[in-house]
Amino acid sequence: MGDRDRPNPFRGLSFAEKVEKSRPPIPTDIIQVKFLTYGPLVSLNEEARGIVLAMIETGCRPSELCNITAEDIFLADKVPHILIAPRKDAADPREIKTASSVRKLPLVGIAHEVLRNIGMASLVTKTRKTRYRRR
């Protein structure tokens, strides 16, 4: 099909090397005014508000916290933590953005309270006993 002898017009072309751009951190005063005061989060339900506060404290992406499963939450360990890692489960796969995104994050303060108070503790217990996975 087509003219096989015709030169490839794309020969010699390539993509420029991707330059990693680092984003500056959000200034502390903006976090305090926009997120940690009562007003800005009042319209969110308890779980959504908790996720926002846990994101601030852990540095997790929204998708990392919203898609976490009970198997990745360790509230009863000596140091309570969550595991951010890919899932190879065919029924519930999860990719990770970069290799450096795979990590264990200790849960302290608000993040620990959030994951304990929004029903995650009972979900973790139920999951580990029955092997039921949250969908």
Q: pLDDT tens digits for 8-37?
A: 888 888 888 877 778 888 888 988 888 777
Residue 103 lies in a domain: yes
Residue 2 in domain: no
Amino acid identity of residue 123, one-letter, is: L
Instruction: Answer whether residue 76 is part of any domain.
Output: yes
Within a domain: 98: yes
Residue 12 forms part of a structural domain: no
- More confident call, 16 vs 59: 59
Q: Higher-confidence residue: 132 or 56?
A: 56
Containing domain of residue 81, as a range? Answer: 28-130
Domain count for the chain, please give it. 1
Burial 57-94 (b: 16+ CB within 10 A, else e): bbebeeebbeebbbbbbbbeeeebbbebeebeeeeeeb
- Considering the domain boundaries, does residue 104 fall inside one? yes
pLDDT at 108 over 70: yes
pLDDT for 4: 77
What average pLDDT does range 47-54 have in this prediction?
Answer: 86
Determine the pLDDT at residue 103.
93
Strand pairing category for 81-84 and 103-106:
antiparallel
pTM of the model: 0.62
DSSP state of 96: -
Which of these, 88, 85, 93, 76, lies nearest to 127 by C-alpha position? 76
Q: Quick check: 134 pLDDT over 70?
A: no
Rg (CA), the chain: 21
Residue-level pLDDT at 14? 84
Q: Is the pLDDT of residue 89 over 50?
A: yes
Q: Rounded CA gap, 47 and 68, in Å? A: 14
Mean pLDDT of the chain: 80
Residue 4, in any domain of the structure: no
Distance of CA 18 to the CA centre of its chain: 24
- Give the separation between CA 73 and CA 134, rounded to whole angstroms: 12
In this prediction, residue 84 has a pLDDT band, given cuts at 50, 70 and 90, of: very high
In order of 20, 67, 83, the CA distances from 126 in angstroms are 42, 17, 18
Is 109 within a domain?
yes
